[in-house]
Amino acid sequence: MDRQVISTSSAPAAIGPYSQAVRAGGVVYLSGQIALDPASGQLVEGGIEAQAHRAFQNLKAVCEAAGGTLDQCVKLTLFLTDLSKFPVVNEIMQQYFAAPFPARSTVGVASLPRGAQFEVEAILVPA
């Protein structure tokens, strides 16, 4: 199977041995995005709201680099270090995704890279 690595400077560079996204056949698998500013590589300040916005913006940039849009995401996985913030993330998510929404799982985790409070990964099927 052929694999194509997707990369963009509009999203943070990988902070480990992985790709921002990989296309395999007609499907693009997007690595998790936390709220790193693509220019500085630093975690954005401002709490869960700012982190969720930045992570979704990073995800959008990788989708676009793959030739797709957020609307073509078929599956999301959300990771939160505090599940009491889930309603806030739901509200913010609706600013980036419209119905019909992608399938989604949400997982409470003890910690995330760089001290992030939120991470999102996706599966994209571009047209």
- The domain that holds 55 is classified in CATH as 3.30.1330.40
What is the DSSP pairing of strand 27-33 with strand 118-124? antiparallel
* Total-model pTM: 0.97
CB neighbours of residue 92 within 10 Å: 19
Residues 56-95 have pLDDT tens digits of 999 999 999 999 999 999 999 999 999 999 999 999 999 9
Question: Does the structure show a pLDDT above 90 at 127?
Answer: no
End-to-end CA distance of the chain: 20
As for how many domains the chain has, the answer is 1
Range of the domain at 94: 3-124
Q: Percentage of the chain with pLDDT > 70? A: 100
